[in-house]
Structure 1
Amino acid sequence: MKHFRDTILTCACMWLLSLSDICLCQPRSPQQGLQVPCFFIFGDSLVDNGNNNGMLTLARANYRPYGIDFPQGPTGRFTNGRTYVDALAQLLGFPTYIPPYSRARGLDLLRGANYASGAAGIREETGSNLGAHTSMNEQVSNFGETVQQLRRYFRGDNDALNSYLGKCLFFSGMGSNDYLNNYFMPDFYSTSSDYTARAFATILLQQYGRQLAQLYSLGARKVIVTAVGQIGCIPYQLARFHGNNSRCNEKINSAIQLFNSGLKRMVQNINGGQLPGAKFVYLDFYQSSQDLSSNGTSLGFDVVDKGCCGVGKNNGQITCLPLQQPCQDRHKYLFWDAFHPTELANILLAKATYTSQSYTYPINIQQLAAL
């Protein structure tokens, strides 16, 4: 934690950060350009940048106050400004944001696409309580369609295409909704009565392993996979749970830890030769979210237990309402709404995971990009 805190606090521009600035508190990379030719993103609302906009779903964020600090306004990002992958793309040297798959066309696909969808999960039924979304299975299928389109630009030369994709970076952040909008929602799903927490984690990991193997078969080689964050401590849970010895719902956190430890072992196995030529990095969002919350004041966050906007106790019951007035000092809040971090939290985490190994295993993201 000390290394992470020192890394962040020595960013001289942090306190002067303009939320529309590209500064990110980082020195420019020596190569002053793209570190990977393309960036492909899979996940849920933490990294969705507009794929749900045209869907019939409650998991949408294409209205104010979402995007209030984003240069393009409300785009479908579930925060006030940039997401973690937006900030990471800038650190990797991309001059513009990676487009959502729903709007990516033609040559745009050569630099990547974002397939993430709010409410999506590893399991197909996850998130159906909120309406339409694109599950991980469908996101992988959409990437398969992208590969078919890209093949035209390589004149059908599969070796050249595979070589190109092998240099690209892939990000996959899945699992949160399989707990929030599935296992711990017994009124809508039977999984918590069908499986113990350990059995559910095992099944999730088996399904996720197959999905990641499919990405590998389509050309993915340099892959970031994220642990599920400490969602027993997000404002949504804090507004509902009052433990005897903790303000968090440790039952949820304990279940998540089973999944996370299994995911890290999966990364070890893949890097050990299970998928020849692949290099995976495990991104520990659980530990980072725990550290950001417990050490928030030293990082400039005055409020770590409620959202900048939302309704109900501690702004923790639902996401932001259309045209709702958010808090004024957004840089002082760790959470934007009941579920999602603010732009500044995303930027700080992107910086920490890019340049250090505080939360990455076995190497950091900058090192992965350089392979």
Structure 2
Amino acid sequence: MARGLKALWCLAMVLLVSNWQHWARGQATSQVPCYFVFGDSLFDNGNNNYLTTPVKVNYLPYGIDFPTGASGRCSNGLNIADTIAEQLGFNSFITHFGVGSCSSYLDGVNYGSSGAGILDETGFLAGELFTMNTQLYNHKIIVSRIAKQLGSEEVAKKYLGQCIYVTDMGHNDYLNNYFLDTYSSSKIYTPETYAQHLIETYTTQLEDLYSTGARKIAVFGLIRVGCMPSNRQQHPNELDENSCAYKLNEDIQIFNTKLQTLVKELNAKHADAAFTYINSYEIDSDVTNNGFKFTSESCCKVIESGSVPCKPLSIPCADRSEYVYWDGAHFTEAKAWAFGKRAYKRGSPQDAYPYDISELVQLKLPKNDANIANHAQL
């Protein structure tokens, strides 16, 4: 009992000092003490800059609208993870993990890595990447640092349990694995069995994240990869009425359906945690694209037709706020904001369930008790 009271007192002091530091710097207090990001190129904020890989975008015109220029984000400015951080009240960018040298980790860390996937073999042809397993390993390094700084693992767990975690994984397991002839996965698995293989691996990873103290976890589904300019150009004879490569979208929707079931199962198993599904496929829809130029051409000039990266030092479109896609696969900052707003505060019940991120912030979770009834039903 005394030990528990001591841990709560220590945690209260940590949060008090954190809030005082924000006030002293003239900043508003964030809605949660920290925000941790796991993901691929939609969320990467510069981690690949530190890795031996050609999959990095630390050159103009990337970052043309970002305060410090080309940062490694696959965007002209902010990405989705950045827009969520801003809506959570963080007045500075969440630090990237880099090569483990980040020091301002109490506000959270972004572990995202362009080209990375759920499977370790995904993207290995592109050199070094922080796969989901690697990102979890990196997170454990940060958790140990937080425990050391706060004085104990118990205090750290209570602190981390109040934070928001987002994870956006699976795109590259299709784009840079299953859909490529250089991989054998499409010969080994049907779309159904491959999605199940990904889900089984992802289940272990999300359980691993839970074991580190994560309790409020937003799991993002996959966007409509068949609508990316690069894939529309590569599959001109396989386009549906929306001019998207329908077969690619059908395959990833199998994964999305299974992911929704997984979120429901994790909520039933862990009554002291809240997992929620962000319906990226729904958010990345024609409705969201209203007001944007949704074409087979991206805002920046890509290296060649059907490719993803912007041509270095090329001049992008002038009306960047009107385009859905910045390059062959990634959103403009304007689209990232449209997307991030619906993930944070859903525009319809289909956008996120059982909670959007703003609801996840406010949620009061019960303590871990085997006798506690399930707190959330999908």
Answer yes or no: is the 8 Å Cα contact 2:35–2:85 preserved in 1: yes
The reply on whether 1:306 has 2:300 as its aligned counterpart is no
Q: Per the alignment, in what secondary structure is the counterpart of residue 53 of structure 1?
A: helix
Distance 1:286 1:158, change over 3 A: same
1:364 aligns with 2:360: no
Instruction: Write out aligned runs for 1:20-35 (5 A).
Output: 33-35=29-31
Residue of 307, 329, 343 corresponding to 1:339: 329
Q: TM-score, normalised by structure 1?
A: 0.86
Q: Does the 8 Å contact 1:271/1:278 carry over to 2?
A: yes
Is there any run of 5+ residues in structure 1 with no aligned partner, and where? 1-30
Aligned amino acid, residue 357 of structure 2: I
* 1:177-196 equivalent positions in 2, closer than 5 A: 177-186=172-181, 188-196=182-190
C-alpha displacement at 1:219, in angstroms? Answer: 0.7
Q: What is aligned with 1:50?
A: 46
Identify the residue that residue 92 of structure 1 maps to in structure 2.
88
Q: CA deviation at 1:131?
A: 2.2
One-letter amino acid of the counterpart of residue 200, structure 1: Y
C-alpha contact (below 8 Å) 1:310/1:316 kept by paired residues: no
C-alpha distance in structure 2 between counterparts of 1:312 and 1:65, whole Å: 12
Match of 1:218 in 2: 212
State the alpha-carbon separation in 2 of the partners of residues 209 and 342 from structure 1: 31
Aligned residue number for residue 278 of structure 1: 273
Q: Distance in 2 between matches of 1:204 and 1:287?
A: 21
Identity %: 40
Q: Is residue 157 of structure 2 the alignment partner of residue 166 of structure 1?
A: no
State the SS of the aligned residue for 2:296.
strand
Tell me if structure 1 keeps the 8 A contact 2:240–2:246: no
Partner residue of 2:317 out of 314, 318, 327: 327
1:269 aligns with: 265
Q: Call closer, same or farther: CA 1:244–1:289 in 2, change over 3 Å.
A: closer
Shift of 1:103: 6.4
Write the distance in 1 (CA, Å) between the matches of 2:51 and 2:28. Answer: 38
In the other structure, the counterpart of 1:116 is 112
How far, CA to CA, are the matches of 1:291 and 1:160 in structure 2? 45
Partner AA of 1:329 in structure 2: D
Task: Read off the aligned partner of 2:362 and give its amino acid letter.
Answer: A
What is the 5 A alignment of 1:89-168?
89-102=85-98, 105=101, 108-155=104-151, 157-168=152-163
Matched residues in 2 for 1:355 and 1:32: separation?
A: 20
- Which structure has the larger Rg over C-alpha atoms? 2
Q: Return the letter of the residue paired with 2:186.
A: S
Which residue in the other structure is 1:69 paired with? Answer: 65
Structural RMSD (CA): 1.8
CA contact 2:94–2:110 (8 Å) conserved in 1: yes
Per-residue deviation at 1:336?
0.2
Q: Work out the CA distance in 2 between the residues paired with 1:316 and 1:165.
A: 42
AA of the residue aligned to 2:355: I
2: CA distance, partners of 1:55 / 1:312:
22
Corresponding residue SS for 2:91: coil
Moved more, 348-357 or 259-268: 348-357
Normalized against structure 2, the TM-score is what? 0.84
Q: Distance in 1 between matches of 2:271 and 2:293?
A: 46
* 1:349 corresponds to: 339
